[in-house]
Each structure stands twice: as structure tokens, then as C-alpha cells.
Structure 1
Amino acid sequence: MAELPLRDRAGNLLLAVRRVAESDLTRLAAAVPVPASVVVAVHAGAVLMMFDRRRQQWELPGGTREAGESSHRAAARELAEETGICEVVLTFAAVAEFALTRPARQELLAVYRTDLGAAPALSLSEEGLGFRWWSPGERVGADMSPLDAEIAARVLADVV
């Protein structure tokens, strides 16, 4: 695991990844926004990463919550939209805390995990250019979000 805080190429900082109860998200959101969710999809010890068309990097599937949508529902919807993976059990794993740039702000990210018994058939969306299974033992290349890789590694190792 990398030492936190961890900075990406845009200057964003991953400050912490910590275990909280999913029911605490509403309370936490009163102080710091929780506008998005990601999913650590695990198969055979590796994590599914998608190559984001806009940011040009490998990252976890996920995205912004829609109005009135829970973090859990956003995670399930984004996973389905971005990968084609539907109807899987998502377990709340952690909350990740960020200091972001452009514009400068603090945010929390709801992190979910799903363990896949078989490699799923994946389908690309307009947001993604490809998929890969990444093992936390592999080097984090310049084309991978170091923040997402660190979140995935911590969730997979259950070190949050």
C-alpha cells in the first residue's frame, strides 16, 4: 500500500480510505459531499479497471449520483452502464476522502465491492475504451489512476 496522502497527475489528493457503516453516509454528507460511487469488482484476485475516454486513464467503474439516488443505487447503475455487469451483490466497503482540484473542494466517495465467481461478459459504453483485470501486485503505470489503484488495493486487501 502507498502512504497517504497520494497525489495524481492533476494534483488531486487521496487523503484517506476508511471503513464506516453505509448508514453513516447521510451523516457524513452533511459535512462533506458524497457525490459519487465506485465499484471494486474482483475476479480471481484481480480488479476490473476501465479505460476512461475523457480522462485517458484506467480507473474503477463508477460515477456521479443522479438526483435522489442513493450511493448504492448509483454504484449499481454506473457498473451496469459502464461494463454491462448487472444484478450482482454490492457490499459497501469504505469511504474515500479526497482534496480535489478544478475546482478546489473536499469530497467523499462511496466505495462498493463485488466478488465475481466467473469472468463476466463485458460491454463498452461511450465512456470507456477498454477493460483490464489489474492485480494490486502489478505496477501502477502512468496511464492508471494511482488514486483508484490505491482504493482498489486497500479494499481487496481489506485494509481500510
Structure 2
Amino acid sequence: MAELPLCDRAGNVLLAVRGVAETDLPPVPAAVVVVVHAGAVLLMFDKRRRQWELPGGMREPGESARETAARELAEETGIHGVALTFAAVAEFDLVDRGRRELLAVYRAELATAPRLTLSEEGLGFRWWSPREPVETGMSPLDAEIAARTRT
């Protein structure tokens, strides 16, 4: 694992990844899912940001963080109805919003490889082992979140 804080190419900074009880999770604007199969983590290539990252996205009005994670996972990958385990809260300093922000992190452990379906947001999928180096083109922040929460 990398030492925190960790910065990406845009200047966003991952400050912390903390384990908290889901009941103690403060309101968060977004959630991601660390999908694990055979020790590897699912990454999608985001069309807008042009990088490999975890599936996830912004909360919609009235949605819980868990509902956001399930909806975004289904929309971005085609994975439906899997058990999600709350894993952590990640804290960021974001450049484009000029503020600190929290992100809910969920985990889904799959016994079999899922059938993946691309959405309009993604250009591809890959499985990455956190034992491998973070490659150019990967979000180092998402890779670090995955490494810290995959088990």
C-alpha cells in the first residue's frame, strides 16, 4: 500500500481510508464498489476521465450510499443483485470542487466471473491485482482504495 496522502495527475488528494460502521457513515455525495473475483479487482475505463477506475458515482436525491453503490454498479457494469459489504469511508481534497469530500466504499466478492455490460460511461473492463504495480492510465487513488479494502 502507498503512503497517504496520495495525489493523482489532476491534483486530487486521497487523505484517508477509514473503517467505520455503516451506521456512523456521515452523508456522502458518492459511492464506489470494489468488486473482487479470484483476488483481482474490477476496473472500468471511464470515458470522460480517460482512466481505469472503480465503478461508482454520485448519489441521487433520496438515495442512501448503499443504494447509490448498487445502482451505479448495475448501470456501469451490468452486475445486479450482488451482496454489498460496507468497507470504508475515503476522504479526499478535490481540486475541481475546492473542498474536502467523503466517499462510501463498498465491496462485492464474487465466486464466479460476472458477465459485464458496458454503459455509455465506460470504454472497457479489466481485472487488476493489488499485488501488481499501479500502471499509467489507472487512477492511483482508486487503486489505493481497492488495495486497502479488497479483503
Q: 56, 60, 64: which one pairs with 2:54? A: 60
Which residue does the alignment assign to 1:17?
Answer: 17
Please give the alpha-carbon distance, in whole angstroms, between the structure 2 residues aligned to 1:99 and 1:18. Answer: 15
Q: 71, 81, 84: which one pairs with 2:65? A: 71
Per-residue CA distance 1:14-59 (angstroms, 9 max, x = gap): 000000011112xx33xxxx10000000000000000000000000
Q: 25, 31, 37: which one pairs with 1:37? A: 31
Listed as ranges, the gaps of 5+ residues in structure 2 are none
Per-residue CA distance 1:68-111 (angstroms, 9 max, x = gap): 10000000000000000000000000000000101201000000
**How far has the Cα of 1:145 moved from its partner?**
0.2
Which AA in structure 2 matches 1:131? Answer: F
Residue 133 in structure 1 maps to residue 116 in structure 2: no
- Taking the TM superposition and a 5 Å limit, the aligned residue runs for 1:81-92 are 81-92=75-86
Please give the alpha-carbon distance, in whole angstroms, between the structure 2 residues aligned to 1:53 and 1:65. Answer: 20
Which residue does the alignment assign to 2:4?
Answer: 4
Which residue does the alignment assign to 1:107?
Answer: 101
SS of 2:104 mapped into structure 1: strand
Please give the alpha-carbon distance, in whole angstroms, between the structure 1 residues aligned to 2:61 and 2:84. Answer: 21
Q: 84, 91, 94: which one pairs with 2:88? A: 94
**How far has the Cα of 1:141 moved from its partner?**
1.3
TM-score (norm 2): 0.98
Identity %: 74
Which AA in structure 2 matches 1:116? Answer: L
Which AA in structure 2 matches 1:12? Answer: N
Which AA in structure 2 matches 1:89? Answer: A
Please give the alpha-carbon distance, in whole angstroms, between the structure 1 residues aligned to 2:11 and 2:94. Answer: 7
Which AA in structure 2 matches 1:7? Answer: C
Please give the alpha-carbon distance, in whole angstroms, between the structure 1 residues aligned to 2:141 and 2:93. Answer: 11
- Runs of 4+ residues over 6 Å off in structure 1: none
Please give the alpha-carbon distance, in whole angstroms, between the structure 2 residues aligned to 1:4 and 1:139. Answer: 16
TM-score (norm 1): 0.93
SS of 1:39 mapped into structure 2: strand
